[in-house]
Amino acid sequence: MAKGTFLNVLPYVFEEEGGYVNHPADPGGHTNMGITQATLSTWMGTKASAADIRNLSQKTAADIYKKNYWDKIAGDALPAGLDYAVFDFAINSGPARAAKALQKIAGTAQDGIIGDQTLSAIHLRDTANVINSLCDMRQAWLQTLTVYKTFGKGWAARVKRVRNRSLSLVKSSASSGEFSGQTKKPKQTQTRETKLSIPAILKKPETLAPLSGVITGITAMASGNGPVQIAVAIIMVIMAVAGLWYFIRRYRKQL
């Protein structure tokens, strides 16, 4: 997940959408920074005029994009890179269509609402592959539109730019340790053979048995009355010391 992506990719959106336009072939009519007259009217709660569109501030446009597009496609919960790809798709063709395309890739119900099931399925897939599939589906959808002859060249170039930026975001997030479809292993901060002192190891409860063996053997040696008893005591000490040394070696290697 990459909650900071929205502000990072918003300049891309403004760059792609440009300023005020009113193209006769564009069904959106008066548009500024990609915000249509109808979208602004809904936001304002009253019919927006052409002047309202012309005077639209970047802050208002950003607020609209955040609430009406980014939040609706669960941008903060998507992997870095994929969040931008779905976001731009939503701006161009509507949040529901972008969500359904993602759900088709995820293999979940295509209800146009990105929820826990879709997010879980997406996070199990390779993010770069999902981005490529999504951009392919977006391009295929755009080619079905009657106005593709007019805007198709620009749309295709935009999809290509979005694909490249999205894949770059995946690489950046992977190098910084963010989630990108695969879990990055943390760096090992210690060597396997930790230099733990022997006195510290001897304080471990597991050393009581071999230590007791050493003490018992020494006691037996001190109180032994004959060569046989002393020999047995020496063997006990050697075995206990060997067991203790083996435990110290094993404990160090496990750290």
User: So where are the chain's domains?
Assistant: 5-176, 198-254
Residue-wise pLDDT tens digits, 148-171 = 999 999 999 999 999 999 999 999
Looking at residue 186, its pLDDT comes to 38
CA distances in angstroms from 208 to 158, 203, 235, 244, 252, listed in the order given: 71, 8, 18, 9, 17
What's the one-letter identity of residue 57? S
Give the residue among 54, 50, 65 at the shortest CA–CA distance from 19: 54
Q: What are phi and psi of 146, to 5 degrees?
A: -65, -25
- Considering 140-149, 200-209, 219-228, the range whose residues carry the highest mean pLDDT is 140-149
SS (H, E, C) 43-107: HHCCCCCHHHHHCCCHHHHHHHHHHHHHHHHCHHHCCCCHHHHHHHHHHHHCHHHHHHHHHHHHC
Residue burial 78-87, b: 16+ Cβ < 10 Å; e: rest:
bbbbbbbbbb
What are the E-state strand segments in the chain? 20-21, 31-32, 35-36
Please tell me the predicted confidence (pLDDT) of residue 223.
64
Cβ–Cβ < 8 Å for 102, 187:
no
157: tokens are: 């170039």
Question: What is the rounded CA–CA span in Å between residue 178 and residue 171?
Answer: 10
Pick the residue with more confidence: 180 or 174?
Answer: 174
CATH top-level class of 5-176? mainly alpha
Distances in Å between the alpha carbon of 31 and those of 6, 18, 23, 53? 21, 9, 9, 6
Give pLDDT tens digits for 41-58. Answer: 999 999 999 999 999 999
d(C-alpha 177, C-alpha 6), whole Å:
18
**pTM of the complete model:** 0.68
Q: Which residues of 166-194 are buried (b: 16+ CB within 10 A; e: fewer)?
A: bbebbeebbeeebebbeeeeeeeeeeeee
Q: What angle do CA 229, 230, 234 make, to 5 degrees?
A: 120
d(CA 14, CA 33): 6
Amino acid 228 reads V
Mean pLDDT rounded to a whole number for the chain: 83
Share of the chain above pLDDT 90, in %: 62
